[in-house]
Structure 1
Amino acid sequence: MPRISSNGPALGLALTLAACGASFSLPAAADGFTLKDKPKIAMLYFGPKNDGGWTQAFDEARVKIEKEIGQKIQFVENVPEDASAIKPAAEKFIQRGANIVIGTAFGYSDSFKDLAAKYPDVAFLNGSGTTNGSNLESFYGRTYESQYLCGMAAGATSKTGKLGFVAANPFGVVNWTINAFALGAQKMNPNATVNVIYTGAWNDPVKERAAAAALIDQGADVIGQHVDSPTPQIVAQERGVYGTGHHRDLRQFAPKATLCSSVWVWDRFLTPELKKIMAGGWKPAQYGAFIEMKDGGTDIAGFGPAVPKDKAALITAERDAIMKGKQVYAGPLADRDGKERVAKGAVLSDAELWKMDWFVKGVVTQK
């Protein structure tokens, strides 16, 4: 994820959804939003299109979307999370005729809200944003679903049951991936544990290398991650252990070590959403789109050769179940201190997900 000071782009969305989104949402027009001219799409990238992670996932989605909708999508790279850069970049495209603008960062949220008000005939979409309106929709994926499946791969492959996890910041959006990873691992090995080290940064290869090495030194033989670079996977391969990736298929960087990856598949959400805009009468989700795996957002890529075929089949079956509505955070579920967090027959709410500050049994957190 792109960084904004010490916060990630999903943090604001987390706080927004935790508060039910009331302060950032606007009611959509009764008859929806309709373009006045032929659709012309532009994208603003937070980082370089070949960053290996967050932005590259959007760029790869762009190429697939172009094929699906039959038109080229303009884009610009390296637009920082600053209004003085965001607004001129978007307005330049709008002046050239763009009437659908897609952003890719939490830090674009306020600028996109201003732009949506200034250009009511333009549709705006923003990945990991917080602001919504009659012509503006923010969106993010339920990464805990794919991380749960990666945890299953880790638990199935580990010989010791000792897993490590390199995480960015102790925010709900990260904590839910850690817990889901642990629950997946424990489905395959009930005694599996997950040691976590937070780096304090979304993308810091030096800290990620140190964290991954420390976890391996402590006995972890599989390393999971929710950071932006492939460094944990590279370290795993160097040290002769395994790992699971995040953002993209990280077998590109560590083909021997990476068991599977939690990957963004934005085209699966954006293609139908763009078609809705093009068709007319589009009604953005009032509090933004919080996308389940079946609707796009995230999925898994893999499996690496180290995952036994019979275990891979079990993971695939679990993926199918999630696609059909199975909930990762269904009760009964308690935290590591024994406190009930989800009652039997209940499911953790979205607001509770976004503010998650607790961990399941078997998770050990370290700074």
Structure 2
Amino acid sequence: MNKVIKALISTVLTSALILTGCTSASTASKNNEKKDSKTKVGFIYVGPVGDGGFTYSHDQGRQYLEKELKVETMFKESVKEDKAEVQKVVQQMIDQGANVIVGTSFGFQEGMLAEAKKHPEVKFLHCSGYELAPNMGQYFGRMYQMRYLSGIVAGLKTKSNVIGFVGAFPIPEVIRAANAFTLGVRSVNPQAKVKVNWTNTWYDPAKEKDAALALIDSGADVIAQHQDTAGPQQAAESRGVFSIGYNTDMSKTAPKANMTSAVWNWGPYYVSQVKAIMDGTWKSEKYWGGMDANIVDLAPLTAVAPSEAKDAIEKAKEEIKSGKSKIFQGPLKDQKGNIKVEAGKVMTDDEMWNMNWFVEGVEGTIPEK
């Protein structure tokens, strides 16, 4: 009888231990699952963080995201716009636990799309592109609004009526920027022209500076840019002419030249998207916010800006906000004098997004693909 009782006690104890072990393993598994499900965001940058330009503006947004939502982030600087390279960086981030990937340059699109298809469980946000997937959205801002406003400043300042514009690549994003800037210039100074000089690079301070110097040598007394660094601003400062910055407030890099800058404010967008991902309400979309969404802005006018610029900008701002001014509204001619937008018509978002022609007043060419 004692042997039977002992056997029963032994069986009960063994079963309890087995059940306890299963419970612990299950709990550990759930805890790990919970830990793994935490939102971790990886940012891919085309240039170095400290450049004070485009990459810097996105990194400010990343830091804002961390502060507001307390999520973990990581980033990789100076990634080449190469499909294989982008895929490699994305995979490394996913291996490190990232479940949201943010690509901040147009040329990252192909690599990000390929990885989005491979990793349906990961959400992808791509800046300035057009490809969508169920788990990949596109985002940008209506920077052309700020380009127009900064063009007003340049148009009022120029004495030579020649303004230089250093452009990165001849793609719609940059063409649209040069056009909106020119429309702003000519809204206050119909005699002025804008000369475009391409660098075919997003990030090359020396090359950007040289492009600006060439424009100054051709008569430009104001330099604007669609580039990632302050190279063009520094060129203007070195030659005693004036400048309009881009991406971030560039007044400190060229205090004697810079009049204002068209700037990005990515933080609120990143917070809204990551919060939606965390809440399970996120949907793939093409986002294109404007000044009403606070994603684009104009840096404060500096002491070297023309005195009449403040009132002119405020008036133009109100017209954009009210809808009276759409900027790309007819009649609009191209640089050869052909009507591209009839009077009374407004360019659609799709037409603006695919813009491949220069408006009247621009001097420069768009290379054929």
Q: Scaled by the length of structure 2, what TM-score is found?
A: 0.80
Residues 143-182 of structure 1: pairs in structure 2 closer than 5 A: 143-182=143-182
Counterpart CA distance in 2 for 1:219 and 1:111 is 41
Contact 2:165 2:197 survives alignment (8 Å): yes
Q: CA deviation at 1:84?
A: 4.2
Q: In 1, Cα distance between the equivalents of 2:220 and 2:108?
A: 38
- Give 1:296 shift: 4.6
**1:300-339 equivalences in 2 (<5 Å):** 300-325=298-323, 326-339=325-338
Between the aligned partners of 1:253 and 1:277, the Cα distance in structure 2 is 37
Letter in 1 for 2:332: L
Residue 297 of structure 1, CA deviation: 4.2
CA distances 1:208-252 after superposition (whole Å, capped 9, x unpaired): 333322322333221111222212111111111101112222113
| Residues 1-367 of structure 1 aligned to structure 2 (within 5 Å) | 37-285=37-285, 288-325=286-323, 326-365=325-364
Code of the residue aligned with 2:196 in structure 1: it is: V
Q: Is the 8 A contact 2:39 2:71 kept in 1?
A: no
> Structure 1 stretch 105-114 or stretch 118-127: which is displaced more?
105-114
2:348 and 2:355 mapped to 1: Cα distance?
10
Which runs of no fewer than 5 residues in structure 2 stay unpaired? 1-35
CA gap 1:108/1:238 in 2 versus in 1, 3 angstroms: closer
- Judge which range, 39-48 or 244-253, deviates more: 39-48
What's the CA shift string for 1:156-175, capped at 9, x where partnerless?
A: 22233322222233332222
CA distance in 2: counterparts of 1:358 and 1:112, whole angstroms: 28
- Structure 1 pair 277/167, CA: closer, same or farther in 2 (3 Å)? same
TM-superposed deviation, 1:366: 6.3
Aligned residues: 330
Question: Which amino acid in structure 2 is aligned with residue 127 of structure 1?
Answer: C
Offset at 1:324? 4.4
Distance (whole Å) between structure 2 residues aligned to residue 333 and residue 302 of structure 1: 30
Distance 1:81 1:221, change over 3 A: closer
- Contact 1:141–1:296 (CA<8 Å) still a contact in 2? no
AA matched with 1:330: Q
Distance in 1 separating the partners of 2:209 and 2:47: 22
* Mean Cα deviation higher: 177-186 or 305-314: 305-314
Q: Match of 1:17? A: none
- Number of the residue aligned with 1:16: none
The one-letter code matched in structure 2 to 1:44 is: I
CA contact (8 A) 1:102 1:125 kept: yes
8 Å Cα contact 1:248-1:263 kept in structure 2: yes
Taking a change above 3 Å as real, the CA distance of residues 323 and 269 of structure 1, as seen in their structure-2 partners, is farther
Note if contact 2:47-2:203 (Cα within 8 Å) is conserved in structure 1. no
How many angstroms apart in 2 are the aligned matches of 1:157 and 1:257?
11
Q: CA deviation at 1:309?
A: 4.4
Letter in 2 for 1:121: E
Asked whether the equivalents of residues 39 and 72 of structure 2 are also in contact (C-alpha less than 8 Å), the reply is: no
Distance 1:93 1:218 in 2: 46
CA deviation profile, 1:240-283 (whole Å, cap 9, x unmatched): 11011122221131012111112222113222222222222222
The aligned amino acid for 1:200 is: N
Instruction: Using the TM superposition, give the Cα deviation of residue 88 of structure 1 relative to its aligned residue in structure 2, in angstroms.
Output: 4.2
Moved segments of 4+, more than 6 Å: none
**Consecutive unaligned residues in structure 1, runs of 5 or more:** 1-35
> Cα deviation per residue 1:146-203 (whole Å; 9 max; x = unaligned)?
1111111111222333222222333322222112111111122222222222233333
Structure 1 vs Structure 2 CA RMSD: 2.5
Whichever residue aligns with residue 322 of structure 1, its letter is: I
Change in CA separation of 1:136 and 1:315 when aligned onto 2, cut-off 3 Å: same
CA distance in 2, matches of 1:160, 1:56: 33
Note the alpha carbon deviations across 1:54-113, whole angstroms, 9 max, x for none. Answer: 221111111122222233422232333345443343334334433222122333323322
SS of the equivalent of 1:132 reads coil
Say which SS state the counterpart of residue 299 (structure 2) adopts: strand
Could you give the per-residue CA deviations for residues 311-331 of structure 1, whole angstroms, max 9, x where no partner exists? 213213423443444411011
Q: What corresponds to 1:31 in structure 2?
A: none
Q: Is the 8 A contact 1:103 1:125 kept in 2?
A: yes
Give the 3-state SS of the residue equivalent to 1:327 in structure 2: coil
Find the aligned partners of 1:181 and 1:187 in 2 and give their Cα distance: 10
TM-score by length of 1: 0.81
Query: Could you tell me how far apart the structure 2 residues matched to 1:281 and 1:95 are?
Result: 25
Alpha carbons 1:256, 1:304 under 8 Å: kept: no
Q: Larger relative CO (CA 8 A, sep 6+): 1 or 2?
A: 1
Separation of aligned partners in 2, 1:83 and 1:189: 44
Q: Which has the larger radius of gyration?
A: 2
